[in-house]
Amino acid sequence: MFEALTGTGLAASAGLNAYIPLLSMALLARYTDAVNLPSGWSWLENGWIIAILTILLAIEVVADKVPVVDHINDVVQTVVRPTAGGLAFGAGSSAETVTVSDPGTFFSSHQWVPIAAGVLIALCVHGVKAAARPVVNVTTGGLGAPVASTAEDIGSVLLSVLAILLPVLVLIGLALMIWATVWVFQRRKRRRQSKAAGVETRQLFD
């Protein structure tokens, strides 16, 4: 169960920011005893990989806080975030962490399953994020983009840390994300209804 929660939390984190969960695992594995990556994922600990992830994270953090640019970034990240989610789920669910002491018992015979699960989870989270950002930009005149992006970055960091150290609490994070999803789609539905009502009103007076 802990393996599944660890992988799910990391994949969901990747849906918000592709590089935070991978960088979190890389740093914890390289500089602490909290994570022990299996041999197939040890490349994450490489100094060059960490440097590249840091640069990509810096670009992502800046781009995601600028209106219009954030939309273009979301389009590009439609491929990147699910890929990162698959990698994060695969590495996280098969790594030995302070909570998961026997990762070999999880998905032991189907190596593709955790990667596929991570891709789907990250894609779903990314889809909600991409759908929510236009609503935030329109309702705040673009001023809400940096605030929303910062909140997403913080959420991604928290999910990554919880997934590795306290995976049970990932359930709370996922519950909050589900609530946010419902709120986003309800808000979009109300916007469409108000626009439709406005069009009907104008047609009556024409």
Each residue's pLDDT tens digit, 6-32: 777 888 888 888 899 889 888 988 888
In the chain, domain spans? 2-180
Which residues lie across from 97 on neighbouring strands? 35
Q: Which two tokens stand for residue 10?
A: 């990391």
Stated pTM of the model: 0.72
DSSP 68: T
Q: What is the mean pLDDT of residues 77-92?
A: 80
Do the Cβ atoms of 30 and 45 come closer than 8 Å?
A: yes
Q: How far apart are the C-alpha atoms of 107 and 86, rounded to whole Å?
A: 14
With a cut of 60, say whether residue 104 has pLDDT above it.
Answer: no
Q: Which two tokens stand for residue 168?
A: 């049970």
DSSP 178: H
The 10 Å Cβ neighbour count of residue 43 is 12
The string of pLDDT tens digits covering residues 132-181 is: 777 777 777 767 778 888 888 888 888 888 887 777 677 777 777 777 76
